[in-house]
């Protein structure tokens, strides 16, 4: 596929500040942790 398109078949974009911060939090294990999916959805609904 890459050879056929002479590159990747989609546009590459540089992550914005919000995305970079979110990725950094995950890499440093600073993200929120939920015991189960019900807790996750309860938090999303809040």
Q: Which residue range forms the structural domain that includes residue 38?
A: 11-45
6 in any annotated domain: no
1 in any annotated domain: no
- Quick one: pLDDT at residue 4? 75
**Cβ-proximal residues to 24 (8 Å cutoff; 6+ apart), any chain:** 30
Write out the chain's pLDDT in tens, 46 residues: 677 778 888 889 999 999 999 999 999 999 889 999 999 999 999 8
34 in any annotated domain: yes
- Quick one: pLDDT at residue 6? 81
Direct distance between the N- and C-terminal alpha carbons of the chain, in angstroms, rounded to an integer = 43
41 in any annotated domain: yes
The model carries a pTM of 0.52
Comparing CA positions, the residue from 41, 40, 24 lying closest to residue 32 is 40
**Cβ-proximal residues to 32 (8 Å cutoff; 6+ apart), any chain:** 43
């Amino acid at each position: 596929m890459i050879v056929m398109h002479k590159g990747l078949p989609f546009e590459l974009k540089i992550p914005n500040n919000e995305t970079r911060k979110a990725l950094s939090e995950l890499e440093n294990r600073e993200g929120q942790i939920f015991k189960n999916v019900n807790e996750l959805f309860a938090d999303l609904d809040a």
